[in-house]
Structure 1
């Protein structure tokens, strides 16, 4: 039988919800920074611009307001990002199919190419790191991925 005082302090810390929150926050931030370093060398877009391109690539065309809500930014901020991406030819604005007062944004072929290059490079790096893990660790991450996604999308 193992007693609490026999465990390393870090293990005890992670057993509390506050400790788990702290450890997850730190790990996710470091992984995000590490993946950011794996961006394609020709890609000089900001992290938020890339997030918008990825969202449009993954979910299809979206209204600016819906895109702002999805990315958790204010609509004026999203409008500036969309304008910069449109000026670069990576997205285009189109009439909303049912509401003439709104505009939807869709990724262009050039934008899709930027996203594809980014995804390929980062996924390749992460796949290599996952191969270094045990089957058990990969299974834990497989189960954790949708949970982390739900956390990321929660209010």
Structure 2
């Protein structure tokens, strides 16, 4: 969900930011330690993009966003080694695909930036869906365990 300069008043920015707040907030409030860390990482990723877009010169912004995406991939990779759950591996794979899109944007300037942005947006929504699903499964499993004890 990478807004272009001056796009902060568009509907998709508000919807994306709201979805990030809801899903990451639910992960932090109701999830396990894994969901909490993933929720905080996704929130830091999205709001880091907004901070970079607002406070950095346009020439430096692309390189810093690429570096930020690579750093987030490294953190997800560490999470994969610590907790090899399927959803953590899926988040890592999606972030790896996002890093590849960032690199392709640097290497091939003939690719339209809007198409690359659309793919990055789709990856962001898929990552939010994976986190929301894993949090919901965790909450439902917790209720099932509580009912089994009763």
Do both proteins adopt the same fold according to a TM-score greater than 0.5, normalized to the shorter chain?
Answer: no
Q: Which has the higher strand share?
A: 1
Q: State the structure with bigger RCO (CA 8 A, min sep 6), 1 or 2.
A: 2
Q: Which has the higher helix share?
A: 2
- Say which one has the larger Rg: 1
**TM-score for the superposition, normalised by structure 2:** 0.31
**TM-score for the superposition, normalised by structure 1:** 0.30
